[in-house]
Amino acid sequence: MYAITFAAAAIIWPFIVAMISSRFGADVSARFLERPGPIPSTGEALTRRSLEQWLRSPANGPFRRPYARCIMLLDVIYIFLVGGFFVTGSLWLASALTWPDPANWWYCVAVCIVPAAYIISDFVEDAMIAQILLRHDVSDTKFNLMCLATTIKIVTFGAAAAQTVVLGICALLLSAA
């Protein structure tokens, strides 16, 4: 029941975030700091230098704080919704499978590792984005950490989704047998 509730909320939440983020310009609406690709308003690749220029631009001044405070807060809620789905869904599906006695409790730990990595990496990414936007300070270290967290987030999101699908298929096959 928890997994379905988290899943439904995680499906709806991006629509809510899109409605709110669209009020803060094309760049914030595209959430360019959270996704690979160019900065929408300039077409430039996201680099430390292009991000510094974006932060210094008077046209983007009104959007920095809402991106950091509002959109990042909404993203943290999304992290817990989709992460909660991956954790509870994987646990629920894994519990439908037959495990040898010594592994009975280890499966609970094992299926939570990848979703936990997603949750942590996305949270680190959001914290780095908020810090950069609020302080207008983009050092090489901060920029590289933000980019690394984004990459890990994308990989672990895909891995957590794949894990949930594989466990679901295994549970379906087991129930059909």
| Prediction pTM value | 0.92
pLDDT at 102: 67
Is the pLDDT at 177 greater than 70? The verdict is no
d(CA 102, CA 9): 35
Q: Say what angle helices 72-95 and 2-21 make with each other, to 10 degrees.
A: 160
pLDDT per residue as tens digits for the range 40-70: 999 999 999 999 999 999 999 999 999 999 9
Q: How far is CA 109 from CA 27, 93, 139, in A?
A: 39, 14, 37
Reported confidence tier of residue 22, pLDDT bands at 50, 70, 90? very high
Residue 40, token pair as written in the block: 């929408």
Is there a contact between 28 and 21 (Cβ–Cβ < 8 Å)? Answer: yes
pLDDT at 137: 86
The stretch 25-34 carries a mean pLDDT of 96
Q: How far is CA 47 from CA 39, 60, 149, in A?
A: 9, 17, 15
Closest CA relative to residue 76, chosen from 133, 17, 33, 20: 17
Domain housing 114: 2-176
d(CA 73, CA 66): 10
Query: 38 has which bridge partners?
Result: 45
Mean pLDDT for all residues in the chain: 94
Is the pLDDT at 150 greater than 90? The verdict is yes
Phi, psi of 45 (to 5 degrees): -65, 150
Is the pLDDT at 157 greater than 80? The verdict is yes
pLDDT at 85: 98
d(CA 157, CA 130): 21
Number of domains in the chain: 1
Please work out, in degrees rounded to the nearest 5, the angle formed at the alpha carbon of residue 19 by the alpha carbons of 16 and 22: 140
pLDDT at 67: 97
pLDDT per residue as tens digits for the range 87-130: 999 999 988 887 677 667 788 889 999 999 999 999 999 999 99
Phi, psi of 36 (to 5 degrees): -70, 150
Positive/negative CA dihedral, 44, 48, 49, 53: positive
